């Protein structure tokens, strides 16, 4: 009986030492591999257990990568690189066809710019001459207006009333009576000598009476012969036309008296701006025919060949800066992201190289992804040193 009790006590002590009844003992977090397998290497397991913090899987990636596409639709004239080639910033990678057409459009835009500039310069150079011509036009228009107004007024004056005509007839009667009396007085003296005073006086009276009579008859005829309505309407139309021309001439002179026509100057300046914009667009289109490397790097993908047609926005190749690698996590859980901060130091275990390096959190994605139904956040880590042999795509374990 004592032996059984002693044996039971030893079993309880052994189980207690193994942690069966101690549920607060921290367990190491498993590390998820990119292919779904757990990393069970002793080094990774011991480090995850000893850190007591956050652990996530990650991968080495280029710090700078560019998916390059053309903004133009064109045939591929030449592909000047191959996958794996190292290129320099500004180096031409792919050339597209169509330079002749774009060069012709650019030349047309340059010609339009020259013509518009010449028009603007001519407006400035001929401002004095144009102002003089406008002044002459205004003077002629004002003269024509005065003439038209005088003729129209004269026609109004010729239209007399019945009383005016009767008065004119009475004036003719009186003038005729005076003329007859003067003729009667001059008749007996007509054969007198030229130096006879009485004859001279009678002749002078007769001449005055004749003039008075002629004037009275002319006034009566003027009042009796009223203007034709067609003539009046024609004079009115001429007057209105002269008024319109005088107003237009005045406006033209006002525009030119202080320099070139502002509207013409504005039109020429707009032509210049439009031509300059066409030139800029043409030069940009010509430049877009050559796809150039935005930075020094390595061609990692190539999706086209010479002679193929490419559409605007179609990915042609990928360029990566493999000299500057960083770490990107793949499975940092939503439960752990709150414990990670930008600038926080990290430890990175590079499995393929069996090396551990240090680094810091460079950025945390503000948006979540999903991985196997779990919500994860991508973080970017910069390494303090990049070990020899590290290549893009190598898997790592990150520990905070």
Question: pLDDT of 354-368, one tens digit each?
Answer: 999 999 999 999 999
Q: What is the pLDDT of residue 228?
A: 67
Residue 279 and residue 105 in contact, taking contact as beta carbons nearer than 8 Å: no
| Residues with Cβ within 8 Å of residue 138, at least 6 apart in sequence | 246, 249, 250, 252, 253
Domain total for the chain?
4
Could you read off the pLDDT of 206-258 as tens digits, one per residue? 999 999 999 999 888 777 766 667 777 888 899 999 999 999 988 888 877 88
Q: What is the pLDDT of residue 17?
A: 42
Same domain, 110 and 50: no
215 belongs to a structural domain: yes
Same domain, 94 and 111: no
Whether 147 has a pLDDT exceeding 80, the answer reads yes
**Residue 120, φ and ψ in degrees, nearest 5:** -65, -40
**Residue 70, φ and ψ in degrees, nearest 5:** -95, 145
The neighbouring-strand residues paired with 346 are 359
Same domain, 172 and 219: yes
- Provide the pLDDT confidence category of residue 30 given band limits of 50, 70 and 90: very low
Task: State the chain's mean pLDDT as an integer.
Answer: 84
Whether 373 has a pLDDT exceeding 60, the answer reads yes
- Is pTM, for the whole model, over 0.75? no
Q: What is the pLDDT of residue 129?
A: 84
The rounded distance, in Å, linking the Cα atoms of 213 and 173 is 9
Tokens of 393: 């795509």
Where in the sequence is the domain holding 77, given as residue range(s)? 67-98+289-318
Same domain, 140 and 238: yes
16 belongs to a structural domain: no
Q: What is the pLDDT of residue 160?
A: 58
Could you read off the pLDDT of 331-354 as tens digits, one per residue? 999 999 999 999 999 999 999 999
Tokens of 155: 């026609």
Same domain, 243 and 332: no
Whether 39 has a pLDDT exceeding 50, the answer reads no
Whether 36 has a pLDDT exceeding 90, the answer reads no
Cα dihedral: 336, 341, 347, 352 (round 10):
70
344 belongs to a structural domain: yes
């Amino acid at each position: 009986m004592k032996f059984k009790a002693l044996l039971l006590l030893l079993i309880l002590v052994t189980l207690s030492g193994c942690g069966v009844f101690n549920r607060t003992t921290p367990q190491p977090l498993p590390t998820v591999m990119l292919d779904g397998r757990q990393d069970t290497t002793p080094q990774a397991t011991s480090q995850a257990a000893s850190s007591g913090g956050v652990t996530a899987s990650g991968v080495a990636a280029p710090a700078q990568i560019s998916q390059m596409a053309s903004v133009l639709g064109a045939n591929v004239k030449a592909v000047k690189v191959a996958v794996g080639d190292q290129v320099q910033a500004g180096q031409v990678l792919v050339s597209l066809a169509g330079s002749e057409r774009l060069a012709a459009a650019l030349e047309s835009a340059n010609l339009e710019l020259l013509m518009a500039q010449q028009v603007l310069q001519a407006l400035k150079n001929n401002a004095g001459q144009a102002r003089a011509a406008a002044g002459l036009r205004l003077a002629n228009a004002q003269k024509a207006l005065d003439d038209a107004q005088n003729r129209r007024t004269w026609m109004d004056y010729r239209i007399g009333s019945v009383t005016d005509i009767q008065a004119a007839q009475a004036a003719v009667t009186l003038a005729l009576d005076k003329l007859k009396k003067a003729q009667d007085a001059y008749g007996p003296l007509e054969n007198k000598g030229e130096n006879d005073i009485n004859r001279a006086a009678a002749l002078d009276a007769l001449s005055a009476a004749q003039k008075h009579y002629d004037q009275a008859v002319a006034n009566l005829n003027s009042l009796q012969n009223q203007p034709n309505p067609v003539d009046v309407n024609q004079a009115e139309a001429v007057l209105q036309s002269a008024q319109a021309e005088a107003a237009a001439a005045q406006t033209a002179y006002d525009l030119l008296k202080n320099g070139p026509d502002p509207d013409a100057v504005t039109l020429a300046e707009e032509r210049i701006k439009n031509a300059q914009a066409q030139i800029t667009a043409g030069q940009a289109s010509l430049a877009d025919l050559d796809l150039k490397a935005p930075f020094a790097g390595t061609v990692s993908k190539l999706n086209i060949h010479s002679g193929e047609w490419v559409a605007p926005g179609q990915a042609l190749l990928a360029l990566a800066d493999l000299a500057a690698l960083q770490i990107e996590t793949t499975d940092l859980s939503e439960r752990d992201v709150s414990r990670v901060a930008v600038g926080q130091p990290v430890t990175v275990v590079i499995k393929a190289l069996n090396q551990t390096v240090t680094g810091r959190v460079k950025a945390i994605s503000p948006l979540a992804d999903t991985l196997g139904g779990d919500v994860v956040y991508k973080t970017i880590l910069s390494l303090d040193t990049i070990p020899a042999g590290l290549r893009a795509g190598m898997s790592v374990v990150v520990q905070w």
